[in-house]
Structures are given as structure tokens and as C-alpha cells.
């Protein structure tokens, strides 16, 4: 199978790595034949480091491994697309994807409505906390201290409850957005990555599936 691939003059082939669930592009790297063979043999992504001149397993030091779900190659057989189950973050900066910086975005670009909008906002919040720029609401809140941040969480939670009780879905949507935003502030303030929250939810989901009654759905799964 490897004979069908076209490696460049350095014996490398570019690899685009993608989250298999969300299809978000996580990183661009390179493999040589040996790295690809190790990937196929182990089921975990291995790459060729051009700077260190050696094969490395993704996450071998950080723990942020990539379990391979499927591997595709393009029409010219000179590039690979690997879909992975990413553990933790893919980027060494702590961001989920290496492609976290925006160079250009059209005015017509749709606003993300997936969970990735939380990742985007988290990255902005994290930057505001670090740089504390003038005119930033996040920065002004953080400057007031932990008690102020906690109070805002409490206030927004109450607003969500009131919107629910008032049966006003528009208010519920708006107040839920406020609550989520301030929750991101707390997480970033404490240095907790969203990926850690995702991992916890993933564990709980797995536990729920393992406890599911055999032969029929439980009441909560119907």
C-alpha cells in the first residue's frame, strides 16, 4: 500500500490531521515511510520531525495522543488526511488546533454555531486575562478579583433560572450565553483548558453507555 504513495525527494509526505468528530483541522505535519508504518501498526499518529530529524509519537511527552480513526490519501497520492480522536489539545501552545489565529475572514462568513465557538471565545478570554487591555470587559472583571468573578457567575445563574421560570426562551438563550461566557472566564482564570472539561464529559458519557441496560434503552436514553 505504501508503494502507491508519492513521497517527496526528502522521503516525506505532508499530513493534514483532523478531528474525526467535528472535522476541525488540528495540524499539518509530515511522515516518512517508517512513521506511517508505526502509525498503522500502533493505531496512534507518529510523525517525522524535520527539526529533530527523528520520528515522534504525537503526545509522547504531553499525553495529548491522537488515536487514528481513518487515513485517506488524495488524488495524486502525495498527501494524507488523517482523522483522529484527539486526547487533550493538538497544539503545543495549549490551543485545541494549531490553526487558532485568524488572518482573514469575510464579512459574509457564517458565525460558528458549534461547540467550537466556545473554543474561540475561550482563546479570546485567555488572551484578555493575560494582557489585560484597556476597554476590555473581561480585563476589567478580572482586575476586580476572584470575588467579583464569582458574583457574576451567581448573578447570571439566577438570570437563567428566572428566564426559565418566566417561560421566555429569548431571555433564556441570552442569559445562557452570558452564563457560558462567565464560566469561560472562571476556567481561563484558573488555567483550566476546555479540553479538560471535554475529557471529563467524555468519561461520563462512556460511563453512562457502559451502564446502559442490555436489550433495551433505559428511561434516560429514550
* Predicted local confidence at residue 94, as pLDDT: 80
Average pLDDT of the chain to the nearest whole number: 89
All structural domains of the chain, each given as residue ranges with its CATH number in brackets, are: 2-86 (3.10.20.810), 116-202 (1.10.287.1080)
* Predicted local confidence at residue 3, as pLDDT: 62
* Predicted local confidence at residue 100, as pLDDT: 83
The ranges of the chain with pLDDT < 70 are 1-3, 111-115, 208-222
- Model confidence over 97-139: pLDDT tens digits? 899 888 887 878 776 656 677 877 888 898 899 999 999 999 9
* Predicted local confidence at residue 2, as pLDDT: 67
- H or E element in which residue 172 lies: helix 169-189
Q: How far is CA 214 from CA 199, 209, 217, 219, 222, in A?
A: 25, 10, 8, 13, 14
Amino acid at each position: 500500500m505504501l508503494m502507491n504513495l508519492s513521497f517527496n525527494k526528502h522521503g516525506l509526505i505532508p499530513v493534514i490531521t483532523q478531528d474525526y468528530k467535528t472535522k476541525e483541522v488540528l495540524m499539518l505535519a509530515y511522515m516518512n515511510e517508517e512513521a506511517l508504518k508505526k502509525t498503522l501498526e500502533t493505531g496512534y499518529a507518529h510523525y517525522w520531525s524535520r527539526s529533530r530529524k527523528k520520528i515522534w509519537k504525537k503526545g509522547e511527552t504531553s499525553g495529548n495522543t491522537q488515536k487514528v480513526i481513518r487515513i485517506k490519501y488524495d488524488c495524486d497520492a502525495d498527501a494524507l488526511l488523517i482523522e483522529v480522536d484527539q486526547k487533550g489539545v493538538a497544539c503545543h501552545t495549549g490551543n485545541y488546533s494549531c490553526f487558532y489565529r485568524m488572518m482573514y475572514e469575510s464579512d459574509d462568513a457564517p458565525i460558528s454555531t458549534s461547540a467550537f465557538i466556545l473554543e474561540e471565545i475561550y482563546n479570546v478570554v485567555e488572551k484578555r486575562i493575560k494582557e489585560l487591555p484597556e476597554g476590555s470587559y473581561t480585563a476589567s472583571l478580572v482586575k476586580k478579583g476572584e470575588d467579583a468573578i464569582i458574583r457574576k457567575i451567581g448573578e447570571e445563574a439566577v438570570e437563567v433560572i428566572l428566564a426559565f421560570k418566566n417561560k421566555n426562551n429569548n431571555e433564556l438563550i441570552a442569559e445562557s450565553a452570558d452564563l457560558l461566557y462567565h464560566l469561560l472566564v472562571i476556567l481561563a482564570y484558573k488555567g483550566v483548558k476546555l479540553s479538560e472539561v471535554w475529557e471529563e464529559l467524555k468519561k461520563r458519557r462512556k460511563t453512562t453507555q457502559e451502564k446502559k441496560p442490555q436489550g433495551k434503552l433505559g428511561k434516560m436514553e429514550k
